[in-house]
A and B are shown apart, each in its own frame.
Chain A
Amino acid sequence: DAEITQSPRHKITETGRQVTLACHQTWNHNNMFWYRQDLGHGLRLIHYSYGVQDTNKGEVSDGYSVSRSNTEDLPLTLESAASSQTSVYFCASSSFIDTDTQYFGPGTRLTVL
């Protein structure tokens, strides 16, 4: 069955370190998205991609970057982790035909000390 996976599921890091969160989908979806989920804010869009070599900034993109070198993967990089980036991160994907119907991964819980 097609799925979307994220790794690691839990990560503890220190302020200032670079961190990369992986997202891999086997749906063969063109579109991929990264969200963060915080109490009181729901899910907020960080970055998104409509296809290989395409990336776009979302609502809360400062301090994050993504690159899309193939269809299956969209890694999220925190260039210099800050305590404000402690959150649960979700990756999602959707098809070219139905961009708005998104399927989510299980999430990565990141703690920045």
Chain B
Amino acid sequence: QKEVEQDPGPLSVPEGAIVSLNCTYSNSAFQYFMWYRQYSRKGPELLMYTYSSGNKEDGRFTAQVDKSSKYISLFIRDSQPSDSATYLCAMTTFNTGKLIFGQGTTLQVKP
């Protein structure tokens, strides 16, 4: 079993929809949780990060962490065609740089 599980999709939604992307993990030592966005044939770019359980909001994006359930989510409100990309969750114990990534979920937002 992988340390981090992420549904690869693909996920297709209409413009304006609310999107929910999820990852589960097995290592309770993970303390730092990140979401990366990767456009086709580009490098991953950091979208959001959080250290603690609860919600963190940045514009249309909300990252949610539930350490008791070992479950993290990324919500995208009012999704746009420009949000079409692969979204990767990543996590680590703390300050080691040894990130463990999920497989990535491919999202397509249709106009």
Do A and B interact? yes
Interface residues of A (CB under 8 A from B): 31, 33, 40-45, 48, 50, 58, 90, 94, 99-107
> CB distance B95 to A100 under 8 Å?
yes
Instruction: Please name the 6 residue pairs, one residue from A and one from B, whose CB atoms are nearest each other, closest first.
Output: A104-B43, A42-B101, A99-B97, A43-B101, A42-B103, A99-B95
- The one of A43, A99, A103 in contact with B96, judged by C-beta atoms closer than 8 angstroms, is A99
On whether A100 and B96 interact (CB within 8 A), knowing A40-B103, A42-B101, the answer reads: yes
Find chain A residues with CB under 8 A from B104 CB.
42
Write the B16-55 contact mask toward A (1 if CB under 8 angstroms, else 0). Answer: 0000000000000000101010000111111001000000
Find chain A residues with CB under 8 A from B8 CB.
40
Instruction: For the complex, give the distance between the alpha carbons of A48 and B97 in Å.
Output: 8
Which residues of chain B from 57 to 94 have a CB within 8 Å of any chain A CB? 88, 90, 92, 94
> CB distance A101 to B46 under 8 Å?
yes
B6 adjacent to chain A (CB < 8 Å):
yes
Find chain B residues with CB under 8 A from A104 CB.
36, 43-45
> CB distance B97 to A43 under 8 Å?
no
Instruction: For the complex, give the distance between the alpha carbons of A103 and B6 in Å.
Output: 22
Interface residues of B (CB under 8 A from A): 4, 6, 8, 32, 34, 36, 41-46, 49, 88, 90, 92, 94-99, 101-104
> CB distance A102 to B99 under 8 Å?
yes
A-B contacts, 7 listed (Cβ < 8 Å): A31-B97, A40-B8, A42-B104, A99-B96, A101-B34, A102-B46, A104-B43
> CB distance B103 to A45 under 8 Å?
no
Question: Shortest CB–CB separation between residue B32 and chain A, in angstroms?
Answer: 5
> CB distance A42 to B98 under 8 Å?
no
> CB distance B43 to A90 under 8 Å?
yes
> CB distance B88 to A42 under 8 Å?
yes
> CB distance A48 to B42 under 8 Å?
no
> CB distance A94 to B97 under 8 Å?
yes
> CB distance A43 to B88 under 8 Å?
yes
- The one of B34, B44, B46, B98 in contact with A48, judged by C-beta atoms closer than 8 angstroms, is B98
- The one of A40, A45, A90, A105 in contact with B98, judged by C-beta atoms closer than 8 angstroms, is A45
